Amino acid sequence: MQQPTVVIAGAPAVGPDPTHLVCPSCRATIRTRVEHDSTTKTHIIALLLFVFCCWPCICVPYCMNSCKDANHYCPNCNAFIGSHKH
């Protein structure tokens, strides 16, 4: 008797920009929708700017996508695809 083959697919590699791929949820060929979210690192950078008397620049980390995580979603089914940590 032949054993069934089981394929386990990992999360696709995503970067900071939208990526073309096949959605693991709905199997459509898509370009991911990216949402940038603030992280602990973003808050720490803002705190350090405040501590070192650069308080007028506190909002800069919240305006820069390079200080945030990039979360990728499928535009068709809104499934979470993956995250790129900065």
Q: Which residues pair with 32 in a beta bridge?
A: none
**Region 57-63: what's the mean pLDDT?**
92
36 contacts: CB under 8 Å, gap ≥ 6 = 65, 68, 69, 70, 71
28 contacts: CB under 8 Å, gap ≥ 6 = 22, 74, 76, 77
Which residue did the predictor score with more confidence, 12 or 77?
77
Q: Write down the pTM of the prediction.
A: 0.77
**Region 20-42: what's the mean pLDDT?**
94
Reported as a single tens digit per residue, the pLDDT across 6-21 is 444 566 788 899 999 9
pLDDT score of 49? 93
d(CA 40, CA 61): 11
